[in-house]
Chain A
Amino acid sequence: MRLVNENTRSRIRKVVVYAIYIFLLSSLQVSFPDSFSFLGQVADLTFVFVVLSGYFNGFWDGALVGFICGLVRDVFSPPAVIGLDGEVRVTAFIGAFTLFSAGIIGASFFTRRMHRNIPFSIVAVIFTTFCYKIAGYLLIYGWSILAGSYTSIYSPLTALLYSFLPQLLLNTVTAIPMIVLIRFLGPVSFKKTKQDDEILENKGGGTWLGI
């Protein structure tokens, strides 16, 4: 007689493996950022992990893993923002907001229609990184104008050369080992996600935002 049924076992596996990856990757990123940096940018291990969790394991996995990774980021290295009064303050929940959004976007594009195709997961990482950079850049631009802090603004060319391109390159390279980890040593077995996809496919229709 089995003490734990198949469903409970897969749930336990999911929670344990996610917990290990979340704390391991978050810790690695803030402990040894120089080991993953290029042209002043750091490979965003947790960001890539969140996007791929969403892409391979679905909306709720992406959202929840993104939310938890974001909270951890808010503790380990929160952003300091120049307030409207000119004082610089440490903020909370921006990490959670960012990575929660990344998990959702990762789960919404190139997923079912592409049958969670592995090469397209790299496209999902590139696309989400691009969205993150554009959104961050616009948000900082708007906030800087509002706060009257012009040291935060940089030209589009600098943003492209020193922010967008190195970050895209680093995240793309990081995605390759991360795909192997999630697919073959991941929280959900590859077979199970394939089965889920087939069930959804048979029901017909794509997802909202599905490409």
Chain B
Amino acid sequence: MSKQVVSTKVNGDPVDFICDPRESLLDVLRDRLGLTGSKEGCGTGDCGACSITLDGRLVCSCLVLGVEAEGKEIGTIEGVADGADLHILQEKIIDHAGLQCGVCTPGIIVAAKNLLEKNDNPTETEIRYWLAGNLCRCTGYDKIIRAVQDAAAELRKAA
């Protein structure tokens, strides 16, 4: 047995790929599908830069094998904006200067979006615990938290 064929949906589109059983889903997304928005920070599930959703569940794509994605719906940072229209979270991260180097940002946005889909009015504590697995070495987190709170308020207004 060498490579395996895997059928998935990525950001709503059917996507088939061929991968080695040892390849992480992160490597598949980046190197085989050209979706380089998900970043590799640590490769061991500690930093959250590779955060994606798998059937709606937030996970680190470095801790999922590509072959495990068979039949799954994958959501990545590339599916967050609607064409040229940024998601409100992306706008708020920019407005609040919630990024500098940008490596953690895709993971932060995917994780925060997943939180707001479950809870449209999280407390600061809930946001901080939810994002505890998304490490940022630039911002000191405060601007990110404010951006998420601001985005949540906007989403509640729109609802």
Do A and B interact?
no
List chain B positions with a Cβ less than 8 A from chain A.
none
